[in-house]
């Protein structure tokens, strides 16, 4: 057991160690040198590893003393990772934010400790901010970024993605355009709010936008205090991301809790979701998006032939079973039965957490195989699943219904675009309507079953029978 926990902690710190260094204001900060950043990560890895490998030597597994000590070791290790993030900043903060959202996978000591990075990450001083504003708005200085290649590292897919995505995230004009694009694209969702951009006060290094109020999407106490329904929030968040992924192919890829705010509008008293930080988006290629739709439809139905076929088409190869489990965060038993028909249980979550460390080599191989587009989608899935776990809504069937609805629409749109006759387009549209109506009827039946009326009707039918 200690060896498995060591692997998880070592992976986390090894991921952190892939960050390079940068120049700011033409002065080299020694703390940002690769050798120093890597040295911190290596030292943290060594300390955590030693702690896990030695702490449990004289304790029997499963005793009260063992569980108490394990919690303390988890907490010590999580605090060391948090301190490493704060010291190395940059990409380390990004990875720490991601780990802090994986409630369904990592021990609670890790997620609760790293959650502070969602909204309380190290900040630049006002003097640094004012300097950037003077430089950018006054056109005084042009600062050039210098990119250094990272040392050879086992997780080279991570290095490649970081090198590609970090410059995009730091281009604030691009972020502003992404923000406006998604606001227009999802304007039909009245509950979604995207802050407006003040273009006259924005440059490539400064983004000035409308101030947004609200609590973090994983703050259950805030929602309870303000009368916000967690199930409504979870369902609406699922609608937003299902539309982005399956229908539009333009996906916001950083939905950690600090970037998703919720509130009740003071005027309408309706619940709103505000989406922040639009620097990182993934544009999905049409063929990739359609295969991804087909894969999720197969996963929801428990169509194992389809699961294998489309997993292989998405690059998983003979690791298709592991790919299905990673994608859904469900056990292979649940995947075989159809994830929409088997509720998430605590024992299943414990099984996944316990076994995750054993499959790190295979997961690494899988991440090297799949298309680069898949990596950010997996990150997005992880973060959304973490939010659902915190809100305790993972067992809800509404997310699968929303996903199915978007997949049906996406496939119908594709078939219409390929249709050569008007009659064929009408046929596709009618089939789409029938499928969507079937989903709505199913959703209604689930609602009736779950409410008091459903309970009363079930009891009456049983009595009459």
- Residue bearing tokens 């400064």: 206
Query: What pLDDT is attached to residue 123?
Result: 58
Which of the 8 DSSP states describes residue 145? Answer: P
Q: How far apart are CA 44 and CA 111, in angstroms?
A: 18
Q: Are 397 and 287 in contact (CB under 8 A)?
A: no
What DSSP string runs through 321-345? Answer: HHHHHHHHT--HHHHHH-TTTS---
Residue found under tokens 């990075």: 117
Q: What is the pLDDT of residue 36?
A: 74
How much is the pLDDT for 239? 92
For tokens 């609760």, what's the residue? 112
In the predicted model, residues of the chain with pLDDT beneath 70 are 1-35, 90-91, 94-95, 97-106, 116-170, 356-357, 360, 395-398, 446-465
- Can you give the pTM of this predicted structure? 0.68
d(CA 54, CA 68): 15
* Phi and psi, residue 250, nearest 5°: -130, 105
383-397 b/e (C-beta count within 10 Å ≥ 16 → b): bbbbbbbbbebbebe
Residues 167, 169, 173, 174, CA torsion sign: positive
Taken in order 443, 293, 237, 196, the sign of the CA dihedral is: negative
Residue 230: enclosing H or E segment and its boundaries?
helix 230-242
- Of the candidates 51, 254, 277, 291, the residue annotated as catalytic is 254
Is 254 among the residues known to form the active site? yes
256-290 core/surface letters (b: 16 or more CB in 10 A; e: else): bbbbbbbbeeeeeeebbbbbbbbbbbbebeeebbb
Scan for tokens 């119908």, then name that residue: 412
Give the span between the Cα atoms of 11 and 266, in whole angstroms. Answer: 45
Instruction: Give me the helix-helix angle, 286-301 and 304-313, nearest 10°.
Output: 160
How far apart CA 301 and CA 217 sit, in angstroms, is 29
Can you give the pLDDT at residue 465?
Answer: 55
pLDDT in tens, 399-450: 778 888 999 999 999 999 998 899 999 999 999 999 889 888 877 776 666 6
The per-residue pLDDT for 166 is: 59
Q: Where are the alpha helices (DSSP H) in 282-397?
A: 286-301, 304-313, 320-328, 332-337, 346-355, 360-369, 372-391
Q: What pLDDT score was predicted for residue 26?
A: 37
261 and 217 in contact (C-beta within 8 Å)?
Answer: yes
| Residue where the block lists tokens 């999720």 | 296
């Amino acid at each position: 057991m200690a060896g498995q926990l060591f692997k998880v902690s070592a992976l986390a710190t090894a991921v952190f160690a892939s960050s390079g260094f940068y120049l700011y204001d033409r002065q080299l900060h020694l703390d940002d040198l690769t050798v120093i950043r890597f040295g911190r990560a290596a030292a943290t890895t060594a300390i955590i590893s030693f702690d896990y490998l030695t702490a449990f030597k004289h304790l029997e597994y499963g005793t009260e003393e063992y569980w108490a000590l394990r919690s303390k070791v988890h907490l010590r290790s999580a605090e060391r990772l948090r301190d490493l993030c704060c010291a190395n900043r940059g990409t380390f903060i990004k990875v720490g934010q991601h780990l802090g959202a994986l409630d369904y996978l990592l021990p609670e000591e890790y997620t609760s400790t790293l959650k502070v990075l969602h909204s309380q990450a190290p900040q630049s001083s006002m003097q640094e901010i004012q300097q950037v504003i003077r430089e950018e708005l006054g056109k005084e200085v042009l600062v050039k970024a210098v990119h250094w290649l990272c040392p050879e590292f086992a997780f080279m897919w991570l290095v490649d993605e970081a090198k590609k995505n970090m410059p995009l995230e730091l281009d604030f004009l691009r972020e502003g355009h992404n923000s406006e694009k998604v606001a227009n694209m999802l304007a039909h969702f009245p509950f979604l709010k995207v802050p407006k951009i003040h273009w006259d006060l924005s440059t490539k290094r400064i983004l000035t936008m409308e101030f947004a109020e609200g609590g973090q999407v994983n703050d259950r106490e805030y929602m309870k205090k303000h009368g916000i329904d967690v199930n409504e929030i979870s369902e609406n968040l699922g609608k937003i991301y299902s539309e982005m992924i399956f229908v539009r192919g333009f996906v916001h890829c950083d939905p950690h809790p600090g970037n998703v705010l919720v509130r009740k509008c003071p005027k309408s008293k309706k619940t709103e979701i505000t989406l922040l930080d639009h620097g990182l988006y993934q544009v999905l290629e049409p063929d990739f998006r359609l295969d991804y739709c087909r894969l999720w439809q197969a996963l929801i139905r428990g169509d194992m032939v389809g699961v294998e076929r489309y997993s292989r088409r998405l690059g998983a190869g003979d690791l298709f079973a592991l790919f299905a489990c990673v994608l859904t965060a469900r056990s292979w038993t649940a995947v075989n039965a159809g994830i929409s028909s088997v509720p998430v249980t605590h024992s299943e979550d414990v099984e996944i957490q316990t076994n995750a460390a054993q499959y790190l080599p295979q997961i690494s191989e899988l991440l090297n195989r799949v298309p680069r587009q898949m990596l950010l989608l997996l990150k997005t899935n992880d973060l959304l699943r973490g939010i659902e776990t915190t809100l305790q809504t993972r067992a809800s069937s509404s997310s699968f219904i929303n996903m199915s609805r978007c997949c049906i629409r996406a496939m119908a749109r594709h078939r219409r675009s390929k249709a050569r006759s008007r009659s064929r387009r009408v046929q596709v549209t009618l089939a789409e309507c029938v499928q969507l109506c079937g989903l709505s009827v199913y959703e209604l039946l689930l609602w009736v079953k779950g409410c008091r009326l459903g309970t009363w009707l079930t009891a009456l039918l049983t009595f009459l029978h």
